[in-house]
Structure 1
Amino acid sequence: MNRKLGKVVLAATGVLCASGSAVLAQEISAAQPAEQQGASQVSGPAATQTDPQDATKVTAREDVTVTAPGSTRDVQSIGAKEMLQSTPGTSPIAVLGRLPSVEITSADPYGAYEWAVRISVRGFNQNQLGFTLDDVPLGDMSYGNLNGLHISRALIDENLGQATLSQGTGALETASTSNLGGAIQFMSNDPLDKRKLEVAQSFGSFSATRTFGRFDSGVLPGHTRFYIDGVYQLSDKWRGAGPINQSYYQGNLKLEHFVGNKGVLTFFVDYSHRQEVDYQDDNKVWVNKLGYKWDNFGNWGVALQAANAYNAQGGGGFVFASLPTTFPTPVSSLQSAPGDLSNDPEDAGYYAAGGLRRDILSYLSYKMALTSHLTWKSTVYGHENSGAGLWFTPYEATYDATGTPVSPISERTSEYGIARGGFVTSLSYETARNTVEGGAWFEKESFDLARKFYATSLASPVQSIYDRPSNAFYTQWSYNFPSTVYQLHLQDQYRIRPTLTVSAGFKSVETNMTGNLGAFNTGVIQASGVTAATYAQGSLESGKAFLPQFGVNWKINKNNEMFADVADNVRAYQAGGPGFGNSPWGTSQAGFNALTSTLKPESSWSEEAGVRHTDNRFQGQASYFHVNFSNRLLAIQQGPAIAGAASLLTNVGGVTTNGVDGAVSAKLHEGWTLYNALTFSRSTYNDDYTTTGATGVPATVATGGKIVVDSPEFLYKNELSYAKGQFDAHIDSDYMGKRYFTYTDDNSVSGRFLANFGLDYHKDEVGAFDQLKLQLNVYNLAGAQYYSTVGTNGFIASDPTSVSLNTLQVGAPRTITGTFSVRF
């Protein structure tokens, strides 16, 4: 820790020791079994709480909080009801797509396929946001996550209690090193006071089945309660052939033990095992010529033919006389004649690709009301992950021990390993007019990343796409990245008068990361001219000692208020090897040494202001936001690639975002509710940048004034729901405007419109059953064909013909799912 940050740490610690709030005392009170609550309960501001027993009869009714009265920031949330309204198996991240300024895209109907699922908020993409579960950091939730895991693997969907989005300025208390553009805090639901057993079975399109079971112990002697549950899900890809089965199983355990009437101890553990087979990344030419449902071959003989044809027609690799030298149908339709590789037929299809992930996440948390005004909470957590991204590549042949090629295809892996642990702690102190809260976060991690190749044969792929391979014949590189994170925050909310509240706070964050090269260029084959200096090693520090945040809330009258706030944020550098995202270590040692003295981490300055209205029938909010995003980092080739020139992480300037958004929810006549959310936003690059391509001559890339990739200027969402007695129904729609996928805006995908439908009927207290429920969900009701995720393989400066980078995913078709559940 540097001296400057160390001084801030000491100062903030001193303030925390003398201060702190009874906010958590409320939480403890609400969570305790009924017999624990009484006159001796810790006092605090009154709060409306839901009877824990009501949670056993939650149905799919509207539960979107479009505004947060009294907040000095733009805060919105989605609760358990909204999660239950969605198709079982839908990722919690996908449900957030109902909120304004939130863009969600995926290649599957559930938002669970991690390679393609994306969330963007006000021009910031997924790895520029912060995510936590019950205060435990989840990292940036990107594919190949270097410091966390996706919420779909951290929590079973049915266990989501609430998801809160702090747009723009984010929340100071969020344990994250990536929250440039906002923070999403997921909260798991609590065990029930009454013993319950729930079982749900779903069937759907594309051979989908999902089995879920949960047991709640109820309150046991000693004031303890817990739940344990599990899910097993199978589904075929909606396009493709061969190995197309997606599967995962997951288990959660959450236990709460109440200590007197002032404390609660919580233990949580999650186990997740996910096996995904990839959807092929597309370009426009392939979709037009090969069809909307085109995907990987899934046939070993066809994949061998395609790889051999590429080598025979200009690829340069070994040509096997026993294999055809023409591309298979229909890939051959991409060629005007043999030897024409202009439409990239070699990448149009592979045998298969996939992702394997196994995670164990656990935490132990304690919350305690120290006095009637002072509350303390702490969480200690650990996370272990192992996984691999698999791809049967035609660009590297398989070689035997003598160096002789035996197959034109090898299985390439990106192998991941995470071992991390840390703690999050805070104190809060509340008086009639003042709330002071502050805390600390520390994390230590070891992240392993390797690029390896495994053997195939002419007879078979040898390795299953569902298994992690062993005995690599070639290791291109292998890294270990140890890192530590220190973060402190302190914030004060002061009520100047009953109608006027101001808030001020700051956080200090420092991340220290080192890249250590473990192995390179080893195995049966070795690339010539490769030395340790080809790869970067060394340490980098990122962060900032003072990141302020200020806000104000003015309550105009009983139902109306105004708010405004500003915040400064910074993002840590990303770990990675060559070709692995925007990592400082994705270059040579000379390149790394050159950038260490000048590189600055990405940062943002966010401003927002808005109005809110809340009454018994109507909730509404409208906001204006402005963001200055500085020091945008991009890996740029520093010379001719054919000469082996490495990429170098480069500061390519800033981004400016201006926009307005709003949401309204109105209770109409007799059970009808109408929800609408609208966003107009424009994010543009501030500067041009320079690159050196194959010619070795510097060239200017004209990005100044261009609209940021994957940033639609217009979003509109609505939902009409009906709830009466035991019946619930809803229909929602979502429009997303045009999106660019090149930095110079020379190619884009057009806007798209999606509609979804759902209904359920439940019957309570039927014989031995507490509840019986039937549910039907239809995704993409109109069967629209559209481009969903853009940028799965990253973005490039220019691609006017859409063949230079295959980085698009088409959206899933109409998908129908039916669910039957019982609760004892």
Structure 2
Amino acid sequence: MTTRQRLARSTILGSILVLPILTPPFLTKAARGADTPNVIKPTGHTNRTTVTPKHIFLKHVPEEIAVFGHGSTRQMTSITHAMMQQSVPGTSPLKVLSQLPGVLYQSADPLGVYEYSSQIFMRGFSQSQLGFTLDDIPLGDQQFNNYNGLSVTRSIISDNVGGVDVSQGAGAIDVASTSNLGGAIQIHSLDPSHQRGGTISQTFGSNSAMRTYIRLESGDLNKTGTRFYVSYARTNMNLWKGGGYDYSDQVNAKLIQPLSHNSSLKLFFDWSSVQQFDYQDMTMNYLHTIGPRLANYYPDYTAAYKAAQGTYPAPLLKTNDPFDAAYYAGTANRVDYLGGLTLNENLTNILNWKTTLYAHADNGYSTWTTPYMPSPNGAPLSQRIQTPQVARGGFQTALSYKIARHTINAGVWYEYGNFNEGRYFTQAPLLGQGTLGNPTTGFPASKVFAHPWQEAFSSNTFVFHLQDTYRVTDTLTINAGFKSMIVNSGNNVATQNLSINGALIAQGRLEASNAFLPQISANWRFLPHHELFFDVSHNMRTFPEDGYGTNISATPWTASQTAFQSTKQNLRPETDWVYEGGYRFTTSKISALASLYRINFSNRLQLITSQAGINPVTAVQNVGGVTTNGAEASLTIRPINGLSIYNSFSYSHSTYDQNVETGGALQAIRGKLVPNYPKFMYKGNISYTIGSFTVHVDGSYLSSRQLTYTNDLHVPGYFLTNFGARYNFGSLGFLKGVTTSFNIYNITNKNYVSTTNELGNNFVNTGYNYFLMGAPRQFFGTVSANF
């Protein structure tokens, strides 16, 4: 199938997004917009809605880095639209979350939008073990080859994010996710304005960065308040080292039709097109011999060609593996359509029905120029291409009924998904007869000389939840409930080349199910401004999907058929028990939060890799149980009007419960720290607003992170600082709210390791323990205005 055919098919799939829609309930006016019903505040969402920044204590605080979950029965924090304005426009909402306690976000690029390197952890859980939603639409597990969702940056333009609610411990029962062993991240889009007009902004910055954003608002079109907006964003930025760029076009639209009884119908649509070049993966040897600016050869085809023949640039000769120190290029190209229609209907003043219908279509391809597969014409390298495609759709529907002091909430979520992926090799030209050029310009179908495999996955997801929020007294609230989950998924291998793959590819179906996953939480306001809360939950994660030997996720299907069959009968989905308790103090001058947590993790699946990242040997290993104990504390003080000082500390001790036998050898990992997540983190932010001027400085410290399961190799800790300032000039002619902003990332120009585990971890130091470097000091300036 050609790229044009794939694009046409995605366009057809995207057209189904105009269907009516129905989702799980209830968000507050502050978080969702003025048309959201406030007659009933159902259970799980009740806990989320109380963390919005418009509660009575914070009237005079325009921006502070986090709002704590006042009134919530679990640990909750929020990032608001105003808080996101501290960051450069276009910054990933997940990167903004990195200021929260227990949250670690890493990316090799300054805006956090380079997907291959994007990585978020909360309390030791990786992004594939967390839950993500956008306006209740499930976004899957956020892995690079996302089989059941869509990355946050491609699902919504960052300027259109109205707020983000984060549950660090365990997400609410009604969160639409099959991966949230840990917490949940729920993103809410801005509602259209009641006033006709628009917004435009232009950003310039380091690495020839240019970003344009425009949103057009219809305002109220009739007496009922029908309104919509359409917005567009274009980002173009070169890599901070080596050749290549990150480029994206994105369109969002949102329509609201208010209904009687404070009900509403909301339609959201997203289209995105992304082309991204890769940063080269690093090892400790590369870092110490060449330095942090090691990059791929692109656009120097001659250098890549000669390196594949064994003639290397002089600096690479210092390394232990010049053959793998750099390749010609790697790229990712994606086109997505996402849409959801939500009916939020107050049937009576005690009964609410909320339903969302959604659909998502994705197609694209990724490239990696490899010297491990020569071309038939005699060229010593070729281009390896993978073609992930997603087509999924589903619905959520829930009822919330209020009787006496109880709010009972029950609902179902169903999704059907297809994930199709193939691997191809295309011919590279002989030296002097052309180059590979820019790999993002289109799938080179005419040059394909090998098609090792093609897999088609299908999955059915069904989740039922039931919960009750019982307001025992005016100061004591208890939330209790459970969910039942069943996910049946499997693949069909339509094409496979045994001579290239070396083994038959894993094929078959697996089912992850549990009829009773309970959760209970409570909040007690024992004195004015003082609260205690606790939460206990049992969670399960379904088996992730991905193609053969892709070394992206811990999927059972990455292995051979023999390995798959040998482990299939004993393979169990990952599960855990999460316990947390804490204290909140909230006044107009001080917001404080302290919490303790414990996690008992069973059947943890890890991706084990060896050899070079482009030619790996991969396996999925059940490394058994993991025990995590941790503590978090946050404090925001507002000593004078306009000044906000925020500090947070977190500690996490996460270790394996037993040794693991693999390849006939016993790996001594019992008591060893889980890789990739630091034991200590500190985050601080000082923000001051005086009149129309706002300035802030923030800093973060991370302790060292382990790269191997036996802890014989680690990356050092680091401290980063950032600066931002913004001034609102008010009205200039027909323009309103004319604003300029200036940001500096990594003020001290620190060399540091950002992403680890992008290619999996090893048990021991093999020399192929990969990571990515973080961006050096970066400057950005933005001019924006309303009209």
Same fold per superposition (TM over 0.5): yes
2:734 alignment partner in structure 1: 768
Shift of 1:432: 4.9
Cα distance change on mapping 1:382 and 1:228 into 2, 3 Å:
same
1:699 alignment partner AA: A
Equivalent positions of 1:218-237 (< 5 A) are 218-221=219-222, 222-237=224-239
Cα distance change on mapping 1:804 and 1:584 into 2, 3 Å:
same
2:401 alignment partner in structure 1: 429
Equivalent positions of 1:575-594 (< 5 A) are 575-580=545-550, 581-594=553-566
Cα distance change on mapping 1:43 and 1:386 into 2, 3 Å:
closer
Q: Secondary structure at the match of 2:90?
A: coil
CA distance in 1, matches of 2:534, 2:624: 27
Say whether residues 1:672 and 2:643 are aligned partners: yes
Cα distance change on mapping 1:528 and 1:166 into 2, 3 Å:
closer
Shift of 1:530: 5.6
Deviations 1:44-75 (A, max 9, x none): 899999999xxxxx999424444212211111
Cα distance change on mapping 1:530 and 1:235 into 2, 3 Å:
closer
2:576 alignment partner in structure 1: 604
Say whether residues 1:813 and 2:749 are aligned partners: no
Bigger CA radius of gyration? 1
Shift of 1:636: 5.9
Shift of 1:370: 0.5
2:549 alignment partner AA: G
Say whether residues 1:792 and 2:766 are aligned partners: no
Q: Which one of 654, 662, 674 corresponds to residue 691 of structure 1?
A: 662
2:390 alignment partner in structure 1: 418
Q: Secondary structure at the match of 2:441?
A: coil
Cα distance change on mapping 1:759 and 1:516 into 2, 3 Å:
same
Number of equivalent positions? 746
2:130 alignment partner AA: L
Say whether residues 1:550 and 2:524 are aligned partners: no
Q: Is the 8 A contact 2:51 2:72 kept in 1?
A: no
1:109 alignment partner AA: P
CA distance in 2, matches of 1:48, 1:184: 15
Say whether residues 1:468 and 2:470 are aligned partners: no
Cα distance change on mapping 1:747 and 1:59 into 2, 3 Å:
farther
CA distance in 1, matches of 2:740, 2:501: 65
Shift of 1:646: 8.5
CA distance in 1, matches of 2:32, 2:188: 17
Shift of 1:680: 1.1
Shift of 1:497: 1.6
Shift of 1:681: 1.0
Q: Which one of 493, 514, 524 corresponds to residue 469 of structure 2?
A: 493
Say whether residues 1:329 and 2:296 are aligned partners: no
Shift of 1:710: 0.7
2:411 alignment partner in structure 1: 439
Deviations 1:744-787 (A, max 9, x none): 00000111100000011002233322211110011001111111
Say whether residues 1:97 and 2:98 are aligned partners: yes
Tell me which moved more, 766-775 or 754-763.
Answer: 766-775
Say whether residues 1:682 and 2:660 are aligned partners: no
CA distance in 1, matches of 2:656, 2:51: 46
CA distance in 1, matches of 2:684, 2:115: 26
Cα distance change on mapping 1:249 and 1:44 into 2, 3 Å:
closer
CA distance in 1, matches of 2:50, 2:575: 38
1:651 alignment partner in structure 2: 622
Shift of 1:118: 0.8
Say whether residues 1:216 and 2:182 are aligned partners: no
CA distance in 2, matches of 1:48, 1:715: 26
1:466 alignment partner AA: T
1:451 alignment partner in structure 2: 423
Q: State the Cα RMSD in Å.
A: 2.7
TM-score of the superposed pair, with normalisation by structure 2: 0.91
Equivalent positions of 1:43-58 (< 5 A) are none
Q: Is the 8 A contact 2:113 2:153 kept in 1?
A: yes
2:626 alignment partner AA: V
Deviations 1:100-147 (A, max 9, x none): 000111101111111111110111111111100000000011101111
Q: Secondary structure at the match of 2:125?
A: coil
Cα distance change on mapping 1:417 and 1:637 into 2, 3 Å:
closer
CA distance in 1, matches of 2:131, 2:501: 41
Cα distance change on mapping 1:199 and 1:473 into 2, 3 Å:
same
Q: Is the 8 A contact 1:274 1:358 kept in 2?
A: yes
Equivalent positions of 1:307-318 (< 5 A) are 307-309=308-310
Cα distance change on mapping 1:282 and 1:50 into 2, 3 Å:
closer
Q: Is the 8 A contact 1:250 1:270 kept in 2?
A: yes
Q: Is the 8 A contact 1:44 1:373 kept in 2?
A: no
CA distance in 1, matches of 2:640, 2:129: 42
Shift of 1:589: 2.4
Q: Which one of 490, 510, 528 corresponds to residue 486 of structure 2?
A: 510
CA distance in 2, matches of 1:629, 1:285: 34
CA distance in 1, matches of 2:392, 2:435: 34
1:225 alignment partner AA: R
CA distance in 2, matches of 1:60, 1:676: 16
2:367 alignment partner in structure 1: 390
CA distance in 1, matches of 2:129, 2:41: 36
2:144 alignment partner AA: Y
1:757 alignment partner in structure 2: 723
Q: Is the 8 A contact 1:60 1:85 kept in 2?
A: no
Shift of 1:616: 1.0
Shift of 1:506: 0.5
Q: Is the 8 A contact 1:21 1:374 kept in 2?
A: no
Q: Secondary structure at the match of 1:280?
A: coil
Shift of 1:421: 0.3
CA distance in 1, matches of 2:721, 2:197: 35
CA distance in 2, matches of 1:50, 1:406: 62
Q: Secondary structure at the match of 1:421?
A: strand
Shift of 1:446: 0.7
Q: Secondary structure at the match of 1:200?
A: strand
Deviations 1:211-247 (A, max 9, x none): 1101111110253100100001111100013xx1221
Cα distance change on mapping 1:578 and 1:529 into 2, 3 Å:
closer
Equivalent positions of 1:341-380 (< 5 A) are 343-380=320-357
Cα distance change on mapping 1:173 and 1:445 into 2, 3 Å:
same
CA distance in 2, matches of 1:818, 1:709: 37
Shift of 1:553: 1.3
Equivalent positions of 1:116-155 (< 5 A) are 116-155=117-156
CA distance in 1, matches of 2:588, 2:505: 62
CA distance in 2, matches of 1:60, 1:201: 27
Q: Is the 8 A contact 2:608 2:763 kept in 1?
A: no
Q: Is the 8 A contact 2:51 2:77 kept in 1?
A: no
Deviations 1:510-552 (A, max 9, x none): 111011001111xxxx727967xx1121111012111000112
CA distance in 1, matches of 2:273, 2:106: 23
Shift of 1:151: 0.5
Q: Is the 8 A contact 1:456 1:463 kept in 2?
A: no
Deviations 1:253-312 (A, max 9, x none): 000011234421111110000100000000111122112211111110000111011xxx
Deviations 1:696-717 (A, max 9, x none): xx11111110000011000000
Deviations 1:175-204 (A, max 9, x none): 111101111000101000101221101110
Cα distance change on mapping 1:492 and 1:557 into 2, 3 Å:
same
CA distance in 2, matches of 1:460, 1:376: 62
CA distance in 2, matches of 1:489, 1:82: 33
Deviations 1:400-431 (A, max 9, x none): xxxxx421111001210000000011111224
1:7 alignment partner in structure 2: none
Shift of 1:43: 8.1
Deviations 1:652-693 (A, max 9, x none): 21111001001111112242110011101110111111111x
Cα distance change on mapping 1:25 and 1:728 into 2, 3 Å:
closer
Q: Secondary structure at the match of 1:506?
A: strand
Equivalent positions of 1:601-640 (< 5 A) are 601-634=573-606
Q: Secondary structure at the match of 2:527?
A: coil
Equivalent positions of 1:188-207 (< 5 A) are 188-207=189-208
